[in-house]
A and B are shown apart, each in its own frame.
Chain A
Amino acid sequence: MTSTTQPIDPLYNPKLRPIIDKIIEDNIDLDGGLMVVLNNLQSKIGFLSAPMQEYVAECLSIPVSKVHGVVSFYSFFTTVPRGKHVIKFCIGTACYVGGITQMVDKAKQMLGIEPGQTTSDGMITLEVCRCVGACSQAPVVVVDEVNNGRMKPAKFTKVIEKVLNDEAAA
């Protein structure tokens, strides 16, 4: 799933540590601040590693079990890094009726991974998510936060190819 070289945990990464500390510092006195801290860390750092969770617990003076309980409860929080690009399949009702499963099949074939997994080069993560609320454009595939609506298998193939080509060109 992850690449062979184990990257250093964000908590001990001198570039990321100040970001983490700033997020915690900004929200340390906020009522119900744990969710705010975790949401910010997830979006700025990309995931919530075990050491990060322990650190948050220590700073906010709450048990690690509570932090981990919250992290594991909400589907937006991830404990492993995502790929550089994230392809999310909306499996809301309208997208399901509209045939989103065909796109999932197509992606599995092209990338050789299942939803929830990341390609071995760390490039692409496949995810499924509940309704993104773009139902009038169903079926929707979200590529790096951009909604791609009215997907068809042939059109979707091109979307994936574009991500791969852009990356190869970069």
Chain B
Amino acid sequence: MAYYRSTILVSMDPICIEKGALQIKEQIIEELKLQKILDEVQILDSPRIGDPETEGPDILVYPEGSHYIALTPESVHPLVVEHFIKGRELAQYSAKMRDLMDEEVREPKDKEVRVILENIGKIDPRNIEDYIATDGYSALAKVLTEMTPEDVIQMVLDSKLRGRGGAGFPTGLKWKFARQAQATPKFMVCNADEGDPGAFMNRKVLEGDPHSVIEGMVIGAYAVGSSQGYVYCRAEYPIAVSTLNVAIKQAKEYGLLGENIMGSGFSFDLEVRMGAGAFVCGEETALIASIEGSRGEPRVRPPFPASKGLWGKPTNINNVETYANIPKIIYRGLEWYTSMGSEKSKGTKTFALAGNVAHTGLIEVPFGMTLREIIYDIGGGIKDGKAFKAVQTGGPMGGCLPTCDLDLPVDYETLGAAGSIMGSGGMIVMDEDTCMVDIARFFMEFTQEESCGKCVPCRVGTRRILEILERICAGGGIPEDIPMLRSLCEEIKQDSLCGLGQGAPNPVVSTLNHFLDEYEAHIYEKRCPAKVCRNLISYHISEEKCTGCTICARNCPVSAITGERKLTHVINQDICIRCGICHQVCNFDAVEVN
């Protein structure tokens, strides 16, 4: 294959052609010839780059990713000279990259290593050529032409890639089991039911770089011996679903999906199925039930999906991020991949930083980085100069880790040992104003509602825990509550059928372990130290500070605040619902919490 230092994509949208795109392309070729660099630059047609109405005719130049718009015959000479000879961007015709780094994926910080997020915001997810221009589908070509399915599985085993859905099971081993299964047909499933509140990396990958997932799935299908795959995506992500459908259609048109892929004789078809708002469907057996068109209730394993999965056939299920890792591993090699990460967890992991942290958004770091580095060096520390209290990792089945755990390196084993989990990578930072009992109650409310109801420990147990926590938060806690909570947690963990029930007690156990003083303050002193639990606090307006500006009265949702303009306002405690809006809107710190 010829090597080019640059690739020019020329938009061949009908409107661009009408505006002279073909002539521009010819001119560019002539000019490159004139400058004697035609053999260094590859010129490709692209269906569409920018908005043809306002930006056409336009071209995209890689590897820089420069987007030149509204090109005229006069622009070609200076453009070629400036960009390709002098190596400078020609500002006059340069447009800012579309979909610039948004607030969900900021410019990477020094300590970050972007592998999965590399292309996000830099390529057009709805244009397969953008992906191909970043070496996309090269791994698939390598697999189909140079590797046997066994080679692929061995390589994934050697990469030590582990499931990014949270459990961390070795992906290569999963593929091996599915390969060894005798029954046919076999199915490939991508778990895109990213239900953990606080996690949105899968959505971003599907919306920003869908072909990386498709390529990973095709490679997996070749390794496992499957000809039909499904991406199960949650209904909350309509844009991800539509982007993925566009990507699948384009991949089929390019012969990279469907019948006889790349002329190799290997065929694999892919279809998107949507969930309908059930958290438990992220559990693999529940997900399978949902694709089958049933209630998303988990079933007992074994048999594991690798032997009996979708419609009772061998099925391989991996997470979005796991699949997205595959092309990178194959194309860039084991040495590169295994050089990143900790001993048992190789590669990188994306995390969604959210909550009371200065810089929220998606980040990507090698395994083994400490929580402190992630929260302070990358996340910029706690918002508004407040004090750190806890970081919640792994979603509702994870735990809350306190200050003393900040120096733990982040990998599957360490987080597990500390009483939390990796999960899909949600990381919610909580400051001093967060009540840990209330957070435990919040998560239990979530799991209780999302419990599918099939097994008793989860269905009834989470309900009982929730009732106790609600009572404690309301000021009715009794000393026996703490041992009762501990024993309930232990039993639910041991006796539940699936990961939802087994993990449900984690937020309660971890807060009991690290923040017992807060539980005790609620139970013995009827006091909420973080001033959150509504029954244990009251709001008052300070006479000295109140200026009578009326902002609190205007914002109170229950009209509990009275007072004349320029006179001290008063909160009627009988009406007040302690929502804290007055406290938040007051510009003079006049609303005090007791």
Contacts and interface: CB of A to CB of B under 8 A. Distances in A.
Contacts of B293: 31-36, 70
A101 B199 CA distance: 20
Interface stretch (B31-39, B261-269, B353-361): B353-361
A135 B236 CA distance: 13
Interface stretch (A6-14, A88-96, A117-125, A161-169): A88-96
B277 A136 contact: no
B104 A35 contact: no
A155 B199 CA distance: 25
A36 B255 CA distance: 27
Contacts of B295: 69-70, 73
A74 B557 contact: no
Contact of A92 (B198, B237, B276, B559): B198
Interface stretch (B321-329, B480-488, B574-582): B574-582
B532 to A, nearest CB: 10
Contact of B428 (A35, A91, A97, A134): A97
Contacts of B350: none
A94 B104 CA distance: 14
Interface in A69-105: 69-70, 73-77, 91-99, 101-102, 105
Interface string A35-69: 11011001000000000000000000000001001
Contacts of B237: 133
A22 interface: no
Contacts of A129: 236, 277
A17 interface: no
B51 interface: no
B311 interface: yes
A149 to B, nearest CB: 9
A77 B103 contact: no
Given A133-B237, A135-B198, A76 B276 contact: yes
Given A102-B580, A106-B557, A131-B236, A73 B296 contact: yes
A20 interface: no
Interface stretch (B13-21, B189-197, B460-468, B521-529): B189-197
A93 B296 contact: no
Interface residues of A, number: 48
A70 B237 CA distance: 20
A138 B295 CA distance: 31
Contacts, number: 158
A130 B584 contact: no
A150 B290 CA distance: 34
A4 interface: no
Given A74-B296, A131-B195, A153 B355 contact: no
**Which of B236, B361, B452, B555 neighbours the largest number of chain A CB atoms within 10 Å of its CB?**
B236
Interface in B172-212: 194-200, 203
**Which of A31, A70, A94 neighbours the largest number of chain B CB atoms within 10 Å of its CB?**
A94
A97 B431 CA distance: 9
A99 B431 CA distance: 13
Given A93-B392, A138-B354, A153 B584 contact: yes
Nearest to B534: A101
Given A76-B235, A94-B355, A133 B294 contact: no
Contacts of A145: 238
B591 interface: no
A132 interface: yes
Contacts of A39: 235, 274, 276
A132 B236 contact: yes
Contact of A75 (B194, B277, B292, B354): B277
Given A39-B276, A95-B197, 19 more contacts: A32-B273, A35-B291, A39-B235, A74-B275, A74-B276, A75-B276, A76-B235, A76-B275, A77-B276, A93-B355, A94-B428, A97-B355, A97-B428, A97-B434, A102-B584, A133-B199, A133-B236, A136-B360, A153-B584
6 contacts: A93-B443, A133-B236, A135-B198, A136-B200, A138-B360, A154-B585
